[in-house]
């Protein structure tokens, strides 16, 4: 199980994921978010550990060619990923199984964000117009949390705000998921200065910032005057009492 999200901001793109992996049914920690070394792009993967490594290798092989966009990069790595997907996994419980993978690739091109979703069929999709994209088996959870925080995305936000929002969404998904998704959060950004992984120290600061954010919301809620609710509220206009309701 995985959750990875991308948020398009006014001055960059934020990419975040959980870090839970598994090996022979033992929980492990996996690097799901990575930055390219020679091009201003970053990516996150959801799928088997074999395919996470295959994506990284494919991107490293393409870096020397300097693809100009995440879309070009995604298109370039698709053939090698397709070949890797045909490699059967080692037998488990007497049966072989196939690999699976999907990925998010982000970039910043000529002052604009780019978010490419590479789904399981390996046909790249430009998703920047959505401003928020989630992949992985826990993506439904992420969309629920995002909807609860949708008012923060009504206008373009800055990358610093996007990092807080991304951390909150991924942490919330980890909190409600019963298995397969776990902290710590992994995160990267891409902007006009290039791609950068978010350090553990900054992730701790983001965690503290999210805690202050939610505490502030709770305080504002407890101090606000809630509207009074009468016994007839919610009834149809023509029904104002129990005596008037049809038998």
The domain spans of the chain are: 4-214
Instruction: Output the pLDDT for position 114.
Output: 97
pLDDT, tens only, 130-147: 999 999 999 999 999 999
* pLDDT(241) > 50: no
- Whether 244 and 231 have beta carbons less than 8 Å apart is answered as no
Instruction: Please return the burial class of 24, using the count of CB atoms within 10 Å of its CB with bins 0-12, 13-18 and 19+.
Output: exposed
Question: Can you tell me the distance from the alpha carbon of 49 to that of 56, in angstroms, rounded to the nearest whole number?
Answer: 11
Instruction: Output the pLDDT for position 224.
Output: 73
Give bridge partners of residue 243 from the DSSP assignment. none
Instruction: Output the pLDDT for position 196.
Output: 98
- For residue 226, the number of C-alpha atoms closer than 13 Å in the C-beta half-sphere is 5
Q: What is 4-214's CATH number?
A: 3.60.20.10
pTM score of the predicted model: 0.86
Please, which pLDDT band fits residue 240 given cuts at 50, 70 and 90? very low
Provide mean pLDDT across the span 9-38.
86
């Amino acid at each position: 199980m995985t959750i990875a999200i991308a948020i398009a901001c006014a001055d960059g793109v934020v990419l975040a994921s959980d870090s839970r992996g598994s090996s022979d049914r033992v929980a492990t920690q996996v690097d799901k978010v990575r930055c390219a070394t020679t091009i201003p792009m970053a990516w996150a993967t959801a799928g088997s550990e074999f395919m996470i490594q295959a994506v990284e290798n494919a991107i490293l092989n393409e870096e020397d060619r300097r693809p100009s966009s995440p879309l070009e990069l995604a298109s370039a790595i698709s053939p090698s990923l397709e070949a890797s997907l045909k490699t059967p996994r080692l037998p488990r419980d007497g049966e072989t199984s196939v690999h699976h993978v999907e990925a998010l690739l982000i970039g910043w091109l000529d002052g604009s964000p780019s978010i490419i979703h590479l789904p399981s069929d390996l046909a790249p999709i430009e998703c920047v117009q959505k401003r928020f994209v989630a992949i992985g088996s826990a993506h439904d959870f992420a969309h629920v949390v995002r909807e609860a925080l949708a008012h923060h995305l009504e206008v373009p936000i800055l990358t610093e705000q996007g990092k807080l929002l991304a951390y909150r969404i991924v942490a919330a998904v980890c909190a409600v998921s019963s298995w397969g998704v776990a902290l710590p959060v992994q995160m990267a950004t891409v902007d006009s200065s290039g791609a950068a992984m978010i350090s553990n120290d900054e992730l701790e600061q983001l965690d503290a910032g999210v805690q202050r954010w939610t505490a502030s919301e709770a305080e504002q809620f407890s101090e606000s005057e809630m509207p009074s609710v009468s016994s007839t509220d919610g009834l149809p206009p023509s029904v104002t009492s129990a005596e008037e309701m049809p038998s």
